[in-house]
Amino acid sequence: MTSPQTTTGPGRLLTPFNLVAGIIVVFGMIITILRFTGGLASVTNLSDDNPWGLWIGFDLLVGVALAAGGYVTSAAVYIFGLKRFHAAVRPAILTGFLGYALVVLALHYDVGRPWRLPYPFVVSAGTTSLLFEVAACVALYLTVLFIEFSPAALEWLGLKRARHLVTRLTLVLTILGVVLSTLHQSSLGALFLIVPAKLHPLWYTPYLPIYFFITSTIAGLSMVICESALSHRYFHGKMDAAHLSGNRDLTLGFGKAASWVLLGYFVIKVIGIAADNQWHYLGTGFGAWYLVELLGFVALPAFMYAVGVREKNITIIRWTAAWTVLGIVVNRFNVCLVAFNWHLPAEQRYFPHWMEIGISVFIVTLGILVFRFIVTRMPILHAHPDYDAH
């Protein structure tokens, strides 16, 4: 393992990480220019049959789910009173905020006229659309996350009075965050309620919004475990005693919660199959893939989390968390891309263009760069010396 300081140490610009990130950013810029001069046709494999591709499936659906750590952690600490996880709140809020900001950035690539994104609110409100609800909640929640994140920036800037004012809003913001997250996380699933004719019956169920909401909490818990593991490794020098010592406790606590929620999710998934009597589809090719998702990415991590927590084995929990995050990606891809349009012949199905993948990688890279910029400067992984942990 290279020393963690290679990426965080001041003055060293030409690190392997920076080099790779730089190349990705340059490529991203080029594809961006192509996108906004040649249209979607020049950089994507989207078609009239497949109007949504990787940028919706990954950047929007996966992005929003994986950014759920913010509301999960702040709710655990400020509402459920699990104060021992307090050190995890700021990194989780920061990744949540960056996640949502990047989702909105990615949407600018996908929609035809991005400057019209505020239209649903200021020009013509289509309130019968689930997408309206998603848009409204994402816009509001991005604002909430920004305010929740701002104390760290205000401490960094030394604006004590503003910081004091914002921290007094903590409880209200947390509740607002949970309400908005409940709504838009579930609405992303509800987007597909309108397509029983296009989505495979194993994935299409009236429970879709509930599934999406529950999996968002699983994603949130697992992402916080993964992020804390990565921060531990690469930003060790930036972490104070509270963050270093709380890490193990956090991993065990969130791992236990994730195990239980995955178990509950497994149960309601089976209920979904039973309620619509879709058992016979399990014998088909799509059924096999469904079982891979259900057993491999729901039942297995539920069990492995439980084992990790019982054995107090941090390594098992961390790998399970990474596997669970992958499972969220699989689930969102299945709903949006794999099981969607399952009735179409193979030649009309969608597979992303490499430049679509390029933009997604570019946007994730931007997120990592901004995250690094902030945690190496602002009090995220350590408390600011002038303030108590609030």
Partner 1 sequence: MSISRRKFLGWMGGASLVAAGARKAHAAANRSFEGYAGSLAVLHDITRCIGCRRCEAGCNAVNELPQPEKPFDDLTVLEKRRRTSAPAYTVVNRFAPAGDGQPPVFVKKQCNHCLEPACASACFVKAFTKTPQGAVIYNPNVCVGCRYCMIACPFEIPAYEYDKALDPRVTKCTLCHPRILEGKLPGCVEACPTEALVFGPRDELIRMARDRMRAHPGRYLDHIYGEHEMGGTSWLYLSGQPFETLGMREDLGTAPAGQLTSGALGAVPMVVGLWPVLLTGIWAITQRKEKIAAHEQAQAVAAARAETEAQAEVRLKTALEKAAKENAAAVAREVKKALETAKTAPQGESDTEKKS
Binding-site ranges for partner 1 (CB under 8 A): 35-42, 44, 46-49, 51-52, 75, 78-81, 110-114, 116-117, 119-120, 123-133, 135, 171, 174-175, 178-179, 182-183, 186-187, 190-191, 193-198, 206, 209
Minimum CB separation of residue 308 from partner 1 in Å reads 27
Distance (Å, rounded) from C-alpha 221 to C-alpha 327?
Answer: 13
Q: For 298, what's the count of Cα atoms within 13 Å in the CB-facing half-sphere? A: 22
Minimum CB separation of residue 332 from partner 1 in Å reads 15
At 41, which amino acid appears?
Answer: A
Give the residue carrying structure tokens 């495979």. Answer: 200
Phi/psi at 346 (nearest 5 deg)? Answer: -55, -40
Minimum CB separation of residue 189 from partner 1 in Å reads 9
Which two three-digit tokens encode residue 344?
């179409």
Minimum CB separation of residue 221 from partner 1 in Å reads 18
Distance (Å, rounded) from C-alpha 194 to C-alpha 191?
Answer: 7
Closer residue to partner 1, CB minimum distance, 19 or 125? 125
Minimum CB separation of residue 129 from partner 1 in Å reads 4
Minimum CB separation of residue 321 from partner 1 in Å reads 25
At 272, which amino acid appears?
Answer: G
Closer residue to partner 1, CB minimum distance, 9 or 51? 51
Distance (Å, rounded) from C-alpha 65 to C-alpha 131?
Answer: 16
Minimum CB separation of residue 136 from partner 1 in Å reads 9
Q: Is 350 left (phi over 0), alpha (psi -120 to 50) or beta?
A: beta
Q: Is 279 left (phi over 0), alpha (psi -120 to 50) or beta?
A: alpha
Closer residue to partner 1, CB minimum distance, 14 or 123? 123
Phi/psi at 50 (nearest 5 deg)? Answer: -125, 75
Closer residue to partner 1, CB minimum distance, 188 or 218? 188
With a CB cutoff of 8 Å and minimum separation 6, the contacts of 197 are 343
Minimum CB separation of residue 60 from partner 1 in Å reads 10
Give the residue carrying structure tokens 């004590």. Answer: 160
Closer residue to partner 1, CB minimum distance, 20 or 344? 344
Distance (Å, rounded) from C-alpha 344 to C-alpha 214?
Answer: 30
Closer residue to partner 1, CB minimum distance, 174 or 331? 174
Closer residue to partner 1, CB minimum distance, 158 or 196? 196
Closer residue to partner 1, CB minimum distance, 116 or 377? 116
Closer residue to partner 1, CB minimum distance, 117 or 307? 117
Which two three-digit tokens encode residue 385?
């010396």
Q: Is 159 left (phi over 0), alpha (psi -120 to 50) or beta?
A: beta
With a CB cutoff of 8 Å and minimum separation 6, the contacts of 210 are 186, 189, 268
Distance (Å, rounded) from C-alpha 63 to C-alpha 357?
Answer: 14
Minimum CB separation of residue 53 from partner 1 in Å reads 10
Nearest one of 166, 221, 231, 222 to 381, comparing CA atoms? 231
